[in-house]
Amino acid sequence: MQLSAKVKKSLNIGLRVVVAVLAFWFIYRQVFLSGDFADFSHDFTNKLTNSGFRLMIGLVILLMPINWGIEAIKWQLLINHVEPVSYFNAFRSVLTGISMSLFTPNRIGEFFGRVFTLRLSDPLKGVLLTIIGSISQLMATLIFGLVSLLFFIVSFIGLSESWHRHLYVGIVLVDLLLILVMIMLFLRAPLLSSKIHSVIRPGWKKIHEYIAVLQSVNRIILLRVLLLSLSRYLVFCFQFYILLRAFDLHIPIFSAFTLIAMTYLVVTAIPSIALIDLGIRGSVAIYFISLYFPENAMVATPILSVTTLLWIINLALPAMLGLLFINRLTILRKSNTNGS
C-alpha cells in the first residue's frame, strides 16, 4: 500500500525529531554523564586562565571547519557524478551526516544522513559514492598508520638482536607492499567495476546501474579524493598534537605524530558506536602516548582530557550544527521525485 504525501511528510518530520533527540541525548550522555568528565572539567577550567591555553584551543576550533570543509570538497567531487551539488549543500549534508552518525554502529548513519538531505533521484547511488569517500579516509589512516608503525618499532620497541633487524626488514617490505596494493586497488576501482559486470546476470539492470556509477569516477578524481583524505588526516593529527601541548604533554612533533598515528590505526580496527568511541579512543591514546612518559604515572588524566576535548570539537560540535539542517532530512519521498 502506497503512503499518501501527507503521511510521508508526517513520518519524515517524526524521523527528524527522533534523530535530533537521539543526537542530543548521546552528546549529553557522552560529555556530561561520563565518569571521567569531572576530571576533564576540573583540568580544563584550571587551564582556561592561561592565555596560551586559550589560544591553542581557539586554533583547534578553527581547524575543525577546515577538517570537515576538506571532507565536503571530497564528497562534492564524488556526488557530482550523480547530480551536481553546490559546496554549501555538500558541507550542510556532511554536518547532518555527523548528527546521524552518533548513534549508529561504525557511524554508518553518516552515509544516509548526507544523502537524504539532498534531493537525489536515486539516493542509493549517492550512498555508494559516499562509501568510496569513507574508504579513501580509511586508506589515509592505514597508510599513515603503517608508515608510523615502522618508526614506532625503532623508537619504542627497539632492534636489540640481529634477528630483530632481519624481521624488521621483512616488516618494511610487507608494509610498503600493502600500501602500494591498497593505492593501486583504489585507483583501479573503475576497471575492477567493469569486471564485475561480466559476472552479474544481464537481467539485473538496477545492479548494473549502480556499478556504472562507480565506473563513472575516473582515476584523476579518485586520486584527488585520496589526497584530500590524506590532507584531512594531517589536520586532525595536528589538532591532536596542539591539544597535547595545551595540556602540558610536551612531545617532539615527530614522536607525537608517530604515537597519534598508531592510536588512530588501532582505534580504526575496533568496531564501535560514537557512544563508546570516546572511551575506546581515550584508552588507546593513554596506552600509546604514555609510552613517551615511562616514568610519569600522572599523564593519563591530561591524555584523557585531550581525547575528550577533541571529540567535543570534532564530533559533538559539528553534530550540533548539523541539527540546524535536520529539516532537510527526507527518508520517505514522493514516487515521482526528480533530481534537482
User: Looking at this protein, which amino acid is placed at residue 283?
Assistant: S
pLDDT of residue 187: 82
List the alpha helices (DSSP H) in 188-316.
189-197, 205-215, 219-246, 253-268, 274-289, 300-311
Among 60, 118, 95, 33, residue whose Cα is nearest residue 319: 95
Do the Cβ atoms of 21 and 334 come closer than 8 Å?
Answer: no
Q: Vertex 323, ends 321 and 329: CA angle to 5°?
A: 130
Do the Cβ atoms of 195 and 162 come closer than 8 Å?
Answer: no
Do the Cβ atoms of 147 and 179 come closer than 8 Å?
Answer: yes
- How far is Cα 79 from Cα 48, in angstroms, rounded to an integer? 42
Low-confidence ranges of the chain (pLDDT < 50): 1, 275, 332, 335-340
User: Looking at this protein, which amino acid is placed at residue 103?
Assistant: F
Handedness of CA 226, 230, 231, 233 (dihedral sign): positive
Q: Please give the distance of CA 295 from its chain centroid, rounded to a whole number.
A: 33
What count of other Cβ atoms lies within 10 Å of the Cβ of residue 218? 12
pLDDT digit string, tens, across residues 61-116: 999 999 999 999 999 999 888 888 899 988 988 988 888 877 676 677 777 777 77
Among 132, 140, 130, residue whose Cα is nearest residue 94: 130
pLDDT of residue 165: 84
Handedness of CA 217, 218, 221, 227 (dihedral sign): positive
pLDDT of residue 223: 92
pLDDT of residue 338: 43
pLDDT of residue 339: 40
Do the Cβ atoms of 330 and 12 come closer than 8 Å?
Answer: yes
Label residue 66 exposed, middle or buried (CB < 10 Å: 0-12, 13-18, 19+): middle
Q: Vertex 244, ends 141 and 284: CA angle to 5°?
A: 50
- How far is Cα 179 from Cα 166, in angstroms, rounded to an integer? 20
User: Does pTM surpass 0.95?
Assistant: no
pLDDT digit string, tens, across residues 236-262: 999 999 999 999 999 999 999 999 999
- How far is Cα 30 from Cα 23, in angstroms, rounded to an integer? 11
- How far is Cα 197 from Cα 208, in angstroms, rounded to an integer? 7
Residues 6+ apart with CB under 8 A from 238: 63
pLDDT of residue 337: 42
